[in-house]
Amino acid sequence: MMQTPLTLTQMMKRAEQFFPKKQVVSRTANRIHRFTYKQIAERTRRLADSLSKLGVTKSDKVGTLAWNHHRHLEAYFAIPCMGAVLHTINIRLSPQHISYIINHAEDKVLLVDPDLIPILEQCAPELKTVQAYIIMTDEDDVPETTLSPVYQYEKLLQEANPEYQYPKDLNENDPAGMCYTSATTGNPKGVIYTHRGIVLHSLAMGLADTAAISEKDVALTVVPMFHVNAWGMPFAGVWFGTTLVLPGPNFTPKLLAQLIEQERVTITSGVPTIWLGLLKELEEGSYDLSSLRGILCGGSAAPKGMIKTFEQKYKIPFLHAYGMTETSPLALFSSLKSYQEELDYEDRLELRAKQGILVPGLEMKIIGQNGEVTWNGKEMGELCLRGPWIASEYYKDDRSKDAFHDGWLHTGDVVTIDEEGFVKIVDRTKDVIKSGGEWISSVDLENALMAHEAVFEAAVVAVPHERWQERPVACVVLKEAYKDKTTKEELLDYLKPQFAKWWIPDEILFLEAIPKTSVGKFLKMALREQIQNEVLK
Ligand code: AMP
């Protein structure tokens, strides 16, 4: 067989050649834009030309700090196709972490949305490698800013060459993108995606037994483009000629419902928090969402009650999948086998609330205390994965050896697997808190609290939350001398300047002692049970 390189260049080329009339619908702060793939392909070439004029060359990192919109999509292709590396930055990280990852990735140019400029202004004094900022605005002029030098995206495009030629010598193993994942302790860890990995992952997104993305779809990508490449939907969508709908900044459940109705969206993707919000909206307003063939849900476990309400009350099928930043992300997909379709609804629901079976192309093993676990739905072990779209290390990071060894990614997720191969996540090896699909490190919060002069011990645990899925609650044991003098507000005010707003615990509980394991570690499971009733009441 021929060894032709699997690169992103062929994806955009295919959209331009075969689907020039198909559209990208993009909401920005001001309005809804509609571009054909013919236009998007030309704008993408112009962006690549502009970046090369700004000095971006092969392997340079170009960062994006942006919502989901057409300019971000253009960056998704222009940067990798010109041989550079697309670094999508999570806008919800703290300024300290954002500065860290920009410096660690060595971003040369940053593309930023106008409303996110203040975040970069805070980081700018720390940034060591950034040579230019491009503002992705609809306005003719860039807003007043201390960032320098700044360029207006559309002006750069106007002056650029529409016939720009992408380099022909891209290697499929060249880096195309990168994304940082929050670590349980310390700084975020970077994952590099290769062209080959992204192309093969996109094929997997098109399989009939996974998300089945196709030309016939109108795909609303709610999951942020800074979260694992929006689960690969923009790449697969462009390649397959799918109509993409990008919801832009600060969207609400109402706006999502309106977009689904107006654009006749067939598939949409996001974390459970988003869908809980949409359910609430559907209960309050009246929308025609009959165009939807599926809601793709992942990032944390989809609650059974939510799946049931969508399916039984609103007749919207639910697609449950599992993955992580290190896995591009698609790894498991909960699609029933033909003979399982004959089970009762409740039994089917039980199966579909699991994370599913392994996606073709990947390999899996589950390692328990005594080696590989039995497929009995009971024995627990750590899920390990390998395959062409699974990372093999963290980018320039000593912590790689903890997760990557013996040729496998050790996911840190504790799972069971049943006789049919359906995997269920039962817990995490680390007690990280998931809030609105984002991670909060309990250990970082604990360490900060325990640095306060009045605090003897502190443990932070997740409690379930209706809207955000989980929220942090801090349990604090005060030193004797401070017992009557220290307030909850004082400790919260102490944390606020150190963390992003959404990291701050919802509650601080003062306890006499924190339950411990036999080796003196905090027994978080017991602590969760102990506090749950107090917080949830
Ligand atoms: P991230 O790298 O931020 O995408 O987070 C990946 C982690 O999210 C995984 O290691 C799991 O712990 C969790 N996760 C992802 N999808 C699911 C799911 N469908 N059900 C339960 N947990 C999930």
Within a domain: residue 256?
no
Sheet with 23-27: list strands edge to edge: 32-36, 23-27, 243-246, 218-221, 267-270, 294-297, 318-323, 330-333, 357-358
Within a domain: residue 261?
no
Name the catalytic one among 181, 254, 261, 430: 181
Ligand 1 lined by 228 (C-beta under 6 Å): yes
Ligand 1 lined by 327 (C-beta under 6 Å): no
Q: What is the CATH number of the domain that holds 418?
A: 2.30.38.10
Looking at per-residue pLDDT, the higher value among 465 and 329 belongs to 329
Cβ contact 382:366 at 8 Å: yes
Q: What is the CATH number of the domain that holds 451?
A: 3.30.300.30
Q: How would you classify the pairing of strands 85-88 and 107-112?
A: unpaired
The pLDDT value recorded for residue 414 is: 80
**Active-site annotation holds for 181:** yes
3-state SS of 119-167 is HHHHHHHHCCCCCEEEECCCCCCCCCCCCCCEEEHHHHHHHCCCCCCCC
Ligand 1 lined by 330 (C-beta under 6 Å): no
Instruction: Judge if 379 and 492 occupy the same domain.
Output: no
Ligand 1 lined by 63 (C-beta under 6 Å): no
Within a domain: residue 126?
yes
Token duo for residue 380: 């627990």
Instruction: Judge if 143 and 210 occupy the same domain.
Output: yes
Instruction: Judge if 34 and 132 occupy the same domain.
Output: yes
CA–CA separation, 293 and 298 (whole Å): 17
**Active-site annotation holds for 326:** yes
Instruction: Judge if 130 and 245 occupy the same domain.
Output: yes
Name the catalytic one among 16, 42, 74, 326: 326
To test the pocket of ligand 1, the residue of 275, 355, 358, 425 to mutate (highest count of ligand atoms within 8 Å of its CB) is: 425
Position 257 pLDDT exceeds 70: yes
Position 534 pLDDT exceeds 70: no
Instruction: Judge if 395 and 247 occupy the same domain.
Output: no
The pLDDT value recorded for residue 430 is: 62
Instruction: Judge if 420 and 493 occupy the same domain.
Output: no
Tell me the percentage of the chain whose pLDDT exceeds 90: 77
Cβ neighbors of 306 (< 8 A, separation 6 or more) are 272, 275, 276, 279, 318
Within a domain: residue 112?
yes
Write down which residue in 403, 428, 453 finishes a domain.
428
Name the catalytic one among 434, 438, 503, 524: 434
Within a domain: residue 241?
yes
Atom of ligand 1 lying closest to residue 329 CA: 4
Write down which residue in 223, 251, 279 finishes a domain.
251
Instruction: Judge if 16 and 152 occupy the same domain.
Output: yes
Cβ contact 152:50 at 8 Å: no
Give the largest Cα separation in the chain, rounded: 76
Instruction: Judge if 149 and 228 occupy the same domain.
Output: yes
Within a domain: residue 398?
yes
Domain count, the chain: 3
Peptide bond into 329 cis (omega under 30): yes
**Active-site annotation holds for 485:** no
Q: What letter would DSSP give residue 512? A: S
Instruction: Judge if 162 and 241 occupy the same domain.
Output: yes
Among the residue ranges 387-391, 416-420, 460-464, the one predicted with the least confidence is 460-464
DSSP 386-403: ESTTS-SS-TT-TTHHHH
The pLDDT value recorded for residue 521 is: 57
Write down which residue in 222, 251, 280 finishes a domain.
251
Instruction: Judge if 441 and 524 occupy the same domain.
Output: yes
Domain that holds residue 516: 433-536
How many other C-beta atoms can be found within 10 angstroms of the C-beta atom of residue 84? 25
Atom of ligand 1 lying closest to residue 297 CA: 19
Using 50, 70 and 90 to split pLDDT, how confident is the model at 428?
low
Instruction: Please provide the average confidence, as pLDDT, over all residues in the chain.
Output: 93
Using 50, 70 and 90 to split pLDDT, how confident is the model at 497?
very high
Structure confidence by residue, pLDDT tens digits, 184-208: 567 899 999 999 999 999 999 999 9
Q: For the residues 245-265, what does the mean pLDDT come to?
A: 97
Ligand 1 lined by 322 (C-beta under 6 Å): yes
CA–CA separation, 247 and 9 (whole Å): 25
To test the pocket of ligand 1, the residue of 300, 334, 422 to mutate (highest count of ligand atoms within 8 Å of its CB) is: 300
Using 50, 70 and 90 to split pLDDT, how confident is the model at 518?
very low
Instruction: Judge if 163 and 15 occupy the same domain.
Output: yes
Q: What is the CATH number of the domain that holds 136?
A: 3.40.50.12780
Cβ contact 56:22 at 8 Å: no
Within a domain: residue 313?
no
The pLDDT value recorded for residue 300 is: 76
Position 44 pLDDT exceeds 60: yes
Within a domain: residue 337?
no
Q: How would you classify the pairing of strands 371-372 and 363-368?
A: antiparallel
To test the pocket of ligand 1, the residue of 201, 324, 390, 428 to mutate (highest count of ligand atoms within 8 Å of its CB) is: 324
**Active-site annotation holds for 434:** yes
Token duo for residue 445: 């919060």
Position 427 pLDDT exceeds 70: no
Using 50, 70 and 90 to split pLDDT, how confident is the model at 293?
very high
Using 50, 70 and 90 to split pLDDT, how confident is the model at 183?
low
Position 453 pLDDT exceeds 70: yes
Instruction: Judge if 53 and 86 occupy the same domain.
Output: yes
Position 225 pLDDT exceeds 70: yes
